[in-house]
């Protein structure tokens, strides 16, 4: 284990030793039960359903760590056994299912602790540290909003954790210092206005059929949407202004959400086209087969972009690019 932190509930009735390993927080089933004041069998049932329903992948959110205890038969002797732990995604999923206020409290505590680890680990220079602090503040503000659902909150924490891992890369991503070969310039599909409009019409049809949208969804207020797409693929001297899949995808998501060209559904349409563009360019999955951005994180990214100030555009683009770039 890298670190052990003590989490104390706001009512001071419960203390839990939280493991910090691999830029994530971990608790055992017994500790989760203690945290949320539920019987361990209840926690086991909820975890089983979380994995069965496909909300989380057990192999991704679980890990075994060595746990040392006093030997039961021999005095002054210890023994080590492997104990199954669950990361922050799994902990919060259980918290929301048991409808525990402690889930929200623990999420806020974890956000603050992740911020501390970010700053402690990467105090490289003041400019980059200022940028780091700005991003963390944006994520914290969004995560603590009254209208943030459980999935969005987990997605925001996913991003914050991922940001810890990629900060060194982000530190290089200033002006032109990030080498172009680190991004994928094999753009096989260029976003097309007519195709995008057709895809949005089909999306609208499906959402209305599911009672998740009205006739206002996807209605263009002006020519802003067409201008947004033109901005993504603009070129100079035969070269794209945004020459990589990652940069075009990031600007597509940003422009569609921030230009607010639709009467309703700007964030959903932006997220949909973002995934559609990545899929068309065969850039949606990691080499391991995992999604580069899961659904929760995508919702959280859309929320962050929507809430960001215009002067924070560069920061938003950097974050999105780093989340979908191929790992070295």
Note if the pTM is more than 0.75: no
Note the pLDDT of residue 10: 81
| Cα distance between residue 235 and residue 242, in whole Å | 8
Which string of DSSP letters, residue by residue, matches 280-302?
HTT-SB-TTS-BSS-HHHHHHHH
Give me the CATH code for the 1-99 domain, please. 3.10.260
Helix, strand, coil percentages (3-state) for the chain, rounded to 5, are 55, 15, 30
Note the pLDDT of residue 115: 61
Contacts of 198-201 spanning 24+ positions with Cβ under 8 A:
199/272, 199/273, 199/276, 200/269, 200/272, 200/273
- 8 Å CB contact between 20 and 1: yes
CATH architecture of 180-324: Up-down Bundle (1.20)
Angle in degrees, CA 322, 88, 162, rounded to 5: 10
| Cα distance between residue 96 and residue 15, in whole Å | 20
Q: For residue 259, what are its two tokens?
A: 């230009």
227 closest CA partner among 183, 203, 196, 185: 196
Note the pLDDT of residue 322: 80
Note the pLDDT of residue 296: 65
Note the pLDDT of residue 139: 55
Q: Which segments in the chain show pLDDT lower than 50?
A: 1, 121-129, 132, 146, 148-153, 155-156, 159-181
| H or E segment to which residue 6 belongs | strand 3-8
Phi, psi of 131 (to 5 degrees): -65, -40
| Domain spans in the chain, listed from the N-terminal domain onward | 1-99, 180-324
């Amino acid at each position: 284990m890298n670190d052990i932190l003590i989490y104390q509930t706001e009512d001071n009735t419960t203390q839990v030793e939280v493991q910090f390993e691999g830029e994530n927080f971990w608790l055992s089933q017994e500790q989760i039960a203690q945290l949320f004041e539920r019987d361990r069998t209840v926690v086991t049932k909820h975890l089983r359903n979380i994995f069965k329903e496909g909300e989380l992948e057990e192999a991704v959110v679980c890990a075994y760590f060595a746990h040392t205890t006093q030997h039961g038969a021999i005095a002054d002797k210890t023994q080590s056994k492997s104990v199954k732990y669950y990361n922050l995604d799994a902990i919060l999923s259980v918290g929301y299912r048991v409808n525990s206020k402690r889930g929200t409290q623990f999420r806020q505590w974890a956000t603050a602790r992740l911020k501390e680890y970010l700053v402690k680990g990467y105090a490289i220079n003041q400019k980059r540290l200022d940028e780091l602090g700005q991003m963390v503040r944006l994520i914290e503000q969004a995560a603590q909003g009254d209208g943030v659902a459980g999935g969005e909150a987990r997605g925001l924490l996913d991003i914050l954790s991922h940001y810890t891992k990629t900060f060194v890369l982000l530190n290089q991503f200033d002006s032109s210092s990030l080498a172009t070969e680190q991004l994928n310039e094999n753009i096989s599909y260029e976003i097309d206005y007519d195709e995008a409009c057709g895809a949005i019409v089909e999306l609208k049809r499906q959402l209305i059929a599911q009672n998740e949208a009205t006739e206002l969804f996807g209605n263009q207020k002006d020519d802003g949407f067409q201008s947004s797409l033109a901005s993504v693929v603009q070129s100079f001297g035969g070269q794209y202004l945004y020459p990589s899949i990652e940069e075009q995808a990031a600007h597509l998501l940003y422009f569609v959400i921030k230009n607010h060209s639709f009467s309703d559904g700007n964030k959903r349409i932006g997220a949909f086209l973002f995934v559609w563009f990545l899929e068309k360019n065969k850039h949606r999955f990691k080499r391991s087969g995992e999604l580069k951005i899961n659904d929760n994180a995508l919702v959280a990214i859309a929320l962050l972009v929507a809430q960001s100030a215009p002067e924070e555009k560069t920061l938003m683009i950097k974050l999105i690019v780093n989340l979908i770039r191929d790992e070295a």
